[in-house]
Amino acid sequence: MSPSRTRQAIVGTALLAASAVAYSSAGFYTRLIDLDAWTMLFWRGVFGGLFLVAMLKWREQGRIVPAVRAIGRDGLLIALCSALATVCFLNALRLSTVADVLVIDATIPFVTAGIAWLVIGEREDRVTLVATVAALLGVAVMTGAAASDGRLPGNLLAFGMVVLMSVVLVLIRRHPGISMLPAVGLSAFLCALIVLPFARPFSVSPEEFLLLAMFGASQFGLGLLLLALGTPLVSATRGALIGVLQTPLGTLWVWLAFGETPGWTTLAGGAIVVAAVICDIAIRRPREEIT
């Protein structure tokens, strides 16, 4: 790998790790804000979208319309899939257990690898595939032996979210030379539009409004921004693997902020996930990341 491409891969890895950190704060905010899920999703989408529009205007020096046109049909598909994935994820958590959803969520790297191979012919490095299996094992250990009785609808929604997010990652990777920042910004507003019929947007207090603004900007908007910037710089599967970091990190933030002490299986599983990602970054053989 050339020095320039090595630097790009390092930058992409750092951006995606930062994206996982941003996304991992979801549990912190949902415990902090006492509102129904639909209202929370609506304002999260609005403030996340506004944050991304501001970033797009700054990055493109005001040339927003050409940047939006450049995303093409794949960009519109990214926006739709990302918005639907968010809605599926929330309802999966309502209809199933967190344990089941987290295990299913950890299969994103596997599904991404398959779709990337079919759509863009990207074959993954063996080290990354082994690390992906280890990360899945770690999430399974975290969740323990959760029963699945009566949870089929929620689990199906969770798997739908996995497929949708895998498509998003592959499509962003498919166009490394085009900024998909407008697409992820559109997805935030689209998510708010989808949940609007079920939300009560004017029932929030001023304090909750401020927290919702922070939630939308620092968790959703920043997470999407870093995802859009980092994904084109690494393989789609590796990007999905790094995203699994949000599972143990989310548990850590809730533990530190609210005293929800995790059990030994959660700690052990989280350690496995983190170790898998670190090992993938540290020991995988260098190869061409940018096509």
- Return all residues near 15 (Cβ < 8 A) that are at least 6 apart: 226, 227, 229, 230, 233
Give the domain ranges of the chain: 3-283
**Using CA atoms, how far apart are residues 104 and 101, in angstroms rounded to an integer?**
5
* 123 C-beta neighbours (distance < 10 Å), count: 12
Confidence band, pLDDT 50/70/90 cuts, at residue 144:
low
Span 31-73, pLDDT tens digits: 889 898 899 999 999 999 999 999 999 988 878 889 999 999 9
Q: How many residues does the chain have?
A: 291
**Is a pLDDT exceeding 60 seen at residue 148?**
no
Q: Taking the model in full, what pTM does it have?
A: 0.84
Q: Read off the tokens for 126.
A: 């063996």
- What is the reported pLDDT for 291? 42
**Using CA atoms, how far apart are residues 43 and 48, in angstroms rounded to an integer?**
8
Contact 265, 140 (CB under 8 A): no
Confidence band, pLDDT 50/70/90 cuts, at residue 246:
confident
Mean pLDDT, residues 70-81: 94
Confidence band, pLDDT 50/70/90 cuts, at residue 81:
very high
Q: How far is CA 84 from CA 49, 129, 161, 190, 235, in A?
A: 15, 27, 7, 9, 23
- What is the reported pLDDT for 1? 55
